[in-house]
Structure 1
């Protein structure tokens, strides 16, 4: 059972590493955000550069965006 759990965990880590590698090679940094060709929603600069998490930004209006992960972290730390 332990080997099965370890195998599942390793597969998950490998998938994330492959996704991050693809993102690193395809993403373009512009206007303080990362963009992928064909995707109309940008990705968070901080999440990618600090944590290597690929997080879409949320529209805040008038061509501005917010990071939902940052809002979530603020909410957790206030408690």
Structure 2
């Protein structure tokens, strides 16, 4: 019986997108293309921490306009 997973995953291999994400050469290529100096594990934690604090301290408060003027409009797709 098939599990619904791709054949490579059923064979014990990582899914292709995950392989790309952990490949050092691919990470460096993406870092160059996206001008993200902090595209590292620490940078990822910093980014996710920003989401947490934004939800706790900024969203639905009087600070929203000030935050957007300082950091940019979070409703626009970048």
Give the TM-score range, shorter chain.
0.3 to 0.5
If the length of structure 1 is used for normalisation, what is the TM-score?
A: 0.32
If the length of structure 2 is used for normalisation, what is the TM-score?
A: 0.33
Of Structure 1 and Structure 2, the greater helix share is in: 2
Higher relative contact order (CA 8 A, sep 6+): 1
